[in-house]
Each structure stands twice: as C-alpha cells, then as structure tokens.
Structure 1
Amino acid sequence: MLRLEGMVQVTFRVRVVLEPDEGGFHASCPALRGCHSWGATRDEALVNIREAAAAYIESMPAHGDPIPVEGPEHLPSTQEEALTVTV
C-alpha cells in the first residue's frame, strides 16, 4: 500500500475490467473497491473509469486510506486493460 503526503503528482497503473452491459460497457477497477463506471462505447467507458479512478485515488489520503498497489500478477486479460491515472 502507498500513502501520499502533501502536494505531489503521482501516476498509477490500475487494472480495469470491461464488460458488455445493456447497450454499453461496464468498467471497474478491482483494486479500488466500489470504483465502477459505464459508457455507451468501450472508449467512453474507459474515459469515465479514468475520471472515476482519479477521483477515488485523490480522495484516499484525505480519508487516511492507503492506495493499493497492484503487482505484476495483475496483468490485464482479454477483458481487461491497464489504466494510467495521474493525481
């Protein structure tokens, strides 16, 4: 786990799971519990989950929560992508 102190800019790579969902795509970040989004297209779902993940990660230090760090064992599969988020 990583803790952020003060004003810094850090780039994170998190795994995103994309699944077809009722005329669009559901996107989630398993390492960020409860971080989900949706989009009418795959690209829209990725844009939306990137924004959701950035907001989620930014809020963690304020709540005293450690930021999960995913290791190489969490490489993306066919329904997953790596997402880079800068906060």
Structure 2
Amino acid sequence: MKKVEATFGNDFAIERAEERISKEGFKFYRKPPLKLVIYVKNKDDIEKLRKLIHESHGYLEPIPTLREKITGKIMAFFSFILYRGKKKD
C-alpha cells in the first residue's frame, strides 16, 4: 500500500472529505492540524481520491519513499561539492 497526504484549508473542508473518503472505503488517519494521510492500492484509486479531495477543496501530494529521500540527500551533497566554488553571474 502507498500513502498519500491531503492538505486542506479549514476544518469544514477536512470533515467533508473524511465523510466522502470513508464512504469510498479508503483507510486514513488525521494529522494535525489540517492533513489526512490516506492509504491507496493502485493508480486508479489515486485518481479517484484526487477527484474526491479536489471536490472538497483540498490538495493531494504523494509522500516520498525512503529511496526518494536517500537519493535526494545524496544528490544535494554532491551538487554542493560540485558547485560550491563557482560564482553566480
């Protein structure tokens, strides 16, 4: 299962989204203050969830995997080493 995170602007929107998501049968939990972490199985579920979240005035973003986090840190380290001596024009 993959996790995605939905962000909302107010309590009314997040409560409405919780009702809709639970009706569709997704498993989720609430992260304070205005975020939901939702478990999905495949890309079709992600598209269905994206539509539900958008209708509830929210934004859906994927949670990076461990591999993506490690790759990002390695790339940041090497780009720092490569570009630290160059001056910007």
Same fold (TM over 0.5): no
Larger radius of gyration: 2
**More strand as a share of residues:** 1
Task: Tell me the TM-score normalized by structure 1.
Answer: 0.31
**More helix as a share of residues:** 2
Task: Tell me the TM-score normalized by structure 2.
Answer: 0.31
